[in-house]
């Protein structure tokens, strides 16, 4: 395995890092205090470092300004180690880390389900025991400083670089009206309308909701005819969302929400600067009604089930909003616009729409391009007249979260062929470029989230998140979230286990454990043949943590579905794996994923390493973008309208691909040229 040297300033301490590791993790292991309140998902913007020299491909982030980027700023959780580097931890990060570390101590770490609304993502992986990664495929070493940023979607202070500007739907204006006289006896609303027209707005079809009308006369007079108006530009004019006395233009807020099946993430955004002011995340309280979208749809058919699911997700969001407002001291009233991204079922449940027909062939949702809804109709605790805009869906199983992801990648505007995947219980896959986009969804099942695996668990406190197996002793080295005795194994640990067992010769290409190696960790267990990752004395659960052949089978099916989805899309378009110029991974699952190991097991295609990028939570990032720019919102609508959806469940070609992908890494090993030479012994060959 390739090792690189990272020099960390201030101090100039040199540390060693394995190729492909995440910079944040490397720094944490070495004891550097880096704040990371989202736990490395790229959504809190806290883990800022400055790259002073060396190779660095940073993924895009909305948390950095143009000037900062040119100074070398990036988020450590989005940097993969590709060579030697010199980095500096800036003073603000050092200070924030101190603060974060203290406050984290008091907070619960995620273990299984928690009541919604508590801060999630606080599970820190700092000071995890060092272990070695399997060696990834060859990459070119580089000496000179080379910082390559995606050009989108990075937000500048006031207006924006790249190809778009901050152009929010909602505006806040400070207006000075002429007080009325006997000669100028226009009504309050006509006076306001005239002032808006002279400010350049089309006042012809001014909408003004009753609650605003009701306070209009009082506020105008209380403010001595100086007021702050919050309005939203509609195609036919404006709608007044709020009026306040005096000049309150400095408070102009919006919310971007990722309504996930498992977790909900909320960004509070300053609509003047585009910056994220505060974030919060927590489990979607709906999980108590079922873990995946299908079980939620079934639950929605019970009496009151739909209403309950709606109420649960709304209270989840409201608790996160309250948390953010408490932390910032800002007022819900000043939140004038909300953008939500979520899969199609989640958006239906959020709006209280019956998701029944999403599950019944031919799988038709009620809405894909969702008409705007008054947030108050849902009971969201923001300004009572604010609108909620839901990012448009492509199909029943490729939702607005994926549209948001595409928007984030910019793949719909670029010439390179990009593949974008977001893996959860469903794997959504998008392929395309500026000329065309195709999308599909494959059911990966819960294996990558720890389901259907005997000792599987979520990526929470006590989860084995990475595994290395010594090629000689066949002993595992484990990294556990929270550096505690392990309670189970999460998605990234499971993939590591499979890859390491395969490369060590413990697994054959069919995923069967070799019966002819004698080792205390290899044995016939209660559920069939198994490999022991940790013996009972070393675990938190008082029994052995193992991985069984049944587990491995379930994982093969999950990875096979994802790979078959990718290759079916490529085939449909007459393309091969080698044509993919960028391979972008989104979603929480990608966070701790060792890409090399994912390639080894055949989950990801065998592409040159540098073509992969991890995007973090691209749903909320896309929501953030669509909140800030009406142009990008229209791009999202265009993406949703123009992306071709392929139904895999009825595709014969997909079934063929799937069967071929149930092997390690694949029936056709020639598709994985970089994996073949790594196979340790002929034992692994079939």
Binding positions for its own copies, rule: CB under 8 A: 180-182, 185-190, 193, 204-208, 210, 213-214, 216-218, 221, 234-237, 351-354, 356-357, 361-373, 377, 393, 395-396, 645, 647, 650
Residue 259 binds ligand FES (CB under 6 A): no
Indicate which single residue of 8, 26, 77, 314 sits in contact with ligand FES (rule: CB under 6 A).
77
Looking at 43-172, list the stretches that DSSP marks H as alpha helix, in order from N- to C-terminal side. Answer: 66-70, 91-105
Residue 256 binds ligand FES (CB under 6 A): no
Q: Which is nearer to its own copies, 185 or 537 (CB)?
A: 185
Q: Which is nearer to its own copies, 211 or 608 (CB)?
A: 211
Distance CA 419, CA 21 (A): 22
Q: Which is nearer to its own copies, 139 or 644 (CB)?
A: 644
Q: What tokens does 358 get?
A: 């999403």
Contact predicate 72/79, CB 8 Å? no
Residue 556 neighbours by CB under 8 Å, 6+ apart: 511, 662, 663, 664
Distance CA 344, CA 83 (A): 41
Q: Which is nearer to ligand FES, 125 or 544 (CB)?
A: 125
Q: Residue length, the chain?
A: 686
Q: Which is nearer to ligand FES, 46 or 381 (CB)?
A: 46
Q: Return the CA Rg of the chain.
A: 26
Contact predicate 365/355, CB 8 Å? yes
Residue 217 CB, shortest distance to its own copies, in Å, is: 5
Distance CA 469, CA 646 (A): 39
| 525 binding partner (options its own copies, ligand FES, none; Cβ < 5 to 8 Å by kind) | none
Distance CA 192, CA 196 (A): 6
Residue 216 CB, shortest distance to its own copies, in Å, is: 5
Residue 44 binds ligand FES (CB under 6 A): yes
**Under rule CB under 6 A, which residues in 45-74 are in contact with ligand FES?**
45-47
Q: Which is nearer to its own copies, 175 or 216 (CB)?
A: 216
Q: Which is nearer to its own copies, 141 or 179 (CB)?
A: 179
Residue 57 CB, shortest distance to ligand FES, in Å, is: 15
How many chain residues touch ligand FES (CB under 6 A)? 13
Give the number of other Cβ atoms within 10 Å of residue 12's Cβ.
9
Residue 155 binds ligand FES (CB under 6 A): no
Residue 192 binds ligand FES (CB under 6 A): no
Looking at 533-614, list the stretches that DSSP marks H as alpha helix, in order from N- to C-terminal side. Answer: 549-572, 595-600
Tell me: cis bond preceding 468? Omega within 30 of 0 counts: no
| 479 binding partner (options ligand FES, its own copies, none; Cβ < 5 to 8 Å by kind) | none
Contact predicate 296/355, CB 8 Å? yes
Q: What tokens does 608 get?
A: 């040159």
Residue with tokens 């993939």: 495
Residue 197 CB, shortest distance to its own copies, in Å, is: 13
Give me the sign of the Cα torsion angle 433, 611, 464, 266: negative
Residue with tokens 């990012």: 391
Q: What is the DSSP letter of 596?
A: H
| 366 binding partner (options ligand FES, its own copies, none; Cβ < 5 to 8 Å by kind) | its own copies
**Under rule CB under 6 A, which residues in 20-39 are in contact with ligand FES?**
24, 36, 38
Q: Which is nearer to its own copies, 531 or 633 (CB)?
A: 633
Give the number of other Cβ atoms within 10 Å of residue 94's Cβ.
14
Burial class (CB in 10 A: 0-12, 13-18, 19+), 91: exposed
Indicate which single residue of 20, 33, 42, 491 sits in contact with ligand FES (rule: CB under 6 A).
42
Q: Which is nearer to ligand FES, 23 or 501 (CB)?
A: 23
Residue 210 CB, shortest distance to its own copies, in Å, is: 5
Q: Which is nearer to ligand FES, 463 or 671 (CB)?
A: 463
Residue 40 binds ligand FES (CB under 6 A): yes
Residue 578 neighbours by CB under 8 Å, 6+ apart: 607
Helix (H, G, I), strand (E, B), or coil: what is residue 271?
coil
Which chain residues interact with ligand FES by CB under 6 A?
Answer: 24, 36, 38, 40-47, 75, 77
């Amino acid at each position: 395995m390739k090792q690189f040297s990272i020099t960390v300033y201030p101090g100039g301490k040199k540390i060693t890092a394995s190729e492909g590791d995440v910079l944040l993790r490397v720094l944490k292991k070495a004891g550097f205090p880096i704040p990371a309140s989202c736990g490395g998902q790229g959504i809190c913007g806290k883990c800022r470092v400055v790259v002073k020299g060396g190779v660095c491909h940073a993924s895009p982030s909305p948390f950095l300004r143009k000037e900062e980027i040119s100074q070398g700023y990036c988020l450590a959780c989005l940097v993969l180690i590709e060579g030697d580097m010199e980095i500096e931890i800036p003073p603000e990060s050092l200070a924030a880390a101190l603060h974060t570390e203290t406050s984290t101590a008091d907070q619960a770490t995620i273990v299984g389900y928690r009541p919604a609304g508590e801060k999630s993502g606080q599970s820190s992986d700092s000071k995890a025991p060092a272990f070695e990664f399997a060696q990834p495929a060859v990459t070119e070493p580089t000496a000179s400083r080379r910082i390559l940023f995606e050009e989108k979607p990075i937000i500048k202070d006031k207006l924006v670089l790249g190809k778009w500007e901050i152009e929010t739907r909602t505006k806040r204006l400070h207006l000075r009206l002429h007080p009325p006289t006997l000669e100028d006896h226009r009504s309050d609303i006509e006076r306001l309308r005239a002032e808006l027209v002279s400010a350049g707005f089309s006042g012809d079809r001014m909408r003004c909701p009753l609650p605003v009308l009701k306070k209009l006369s009082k506020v105008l007079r209380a403010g001595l005819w100086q007021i702050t108006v919050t309005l939203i530009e509609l195609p036919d004019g404006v709608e007044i969302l709020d009026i306040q006395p005096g000049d309150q233009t400095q408070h102009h807020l919006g919310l971007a929400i990722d309504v996930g099946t498992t977790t909900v993430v909320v960004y509070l955004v300053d609509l003047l600067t585009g910056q994220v002011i505060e974030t919060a995340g927590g489990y979607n309280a709906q999980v108590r009604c079922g873990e995946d979208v299908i079980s939620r749809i079934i639950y929605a058919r019970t009496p009151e089930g739909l209403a309950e699911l709606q109420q649960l997700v709304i209270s989840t969001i409201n608790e996160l909003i309250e948390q953010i407002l408490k932390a910032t001291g800002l007022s819900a009233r000043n939140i004038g616009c909300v953008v939500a991204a979520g899969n199609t079922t989640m958006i239906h449940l959020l709006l209280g729409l019956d998701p029944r027909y999403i599950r019944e062939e031919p799988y038709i949702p009620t809405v894909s391009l969702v008409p705007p809804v008054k947030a108050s109709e849902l009971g969201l605790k923001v300004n009572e007249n604010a609108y909620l805009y839901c990012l448009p869906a492509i199909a029943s199983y490729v939702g607005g979260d994926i549209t948001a992801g595409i928007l984030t990648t910019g793949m719909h505007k670029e010439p390179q062929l990009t593949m974008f995947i977001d893996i959860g219980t469903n794997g959504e896959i998008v392929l395309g470029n500026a000329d065309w986009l195709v999308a599909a969804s494959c059911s990966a099942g819960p294996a990558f989230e720890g389901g259907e695996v005997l000792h599987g668990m979520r990526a929470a406190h006590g989860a084995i998140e990475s595994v290395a197996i010594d090629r000689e002793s066949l002993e595992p080295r484990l990294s556990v979230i929270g550096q505690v005795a392990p309670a189970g194994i999460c998605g990234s640990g499971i993939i590591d286990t499979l890859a390491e067992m395969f490369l060590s010769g413990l697994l054959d290409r069919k995923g069967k454990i070799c019966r002819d190696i004698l080792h205390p960790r290899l044995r016939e267990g209660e559920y069939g043949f198994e490999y022991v990752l940790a013996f009972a004395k070393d675990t938190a659960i008082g029994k052995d943590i193992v991985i069984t052949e049944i587990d491995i089978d379930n994982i093969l099916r999950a990875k096979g579905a994802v790979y078959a989805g990718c290759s079916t899309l490529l085939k449909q378009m007459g393309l091969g794996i080698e044509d993919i110029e960028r391979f972008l991974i989104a979603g929480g699952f990608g966070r701790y994923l060792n890409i090399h190991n994912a390639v080894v097991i055949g989950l990801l295609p065998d592409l040159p390493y540098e073509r992969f990028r991890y995007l973090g939570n691209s749903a909320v990032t896309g929501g953030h973008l669509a909140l800030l720019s009406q142009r990008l919102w229209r791009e999202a609508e265009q993406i949703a309208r123009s992306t071709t959806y392929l139904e895999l469940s009825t595709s014969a070609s997909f079934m063929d691909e799937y069967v071929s992908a149930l092997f390690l890494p694949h029936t056709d090993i020639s598709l994985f040229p970089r994996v073949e030479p790594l196979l340790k012994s002929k034992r692994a060959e079939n």
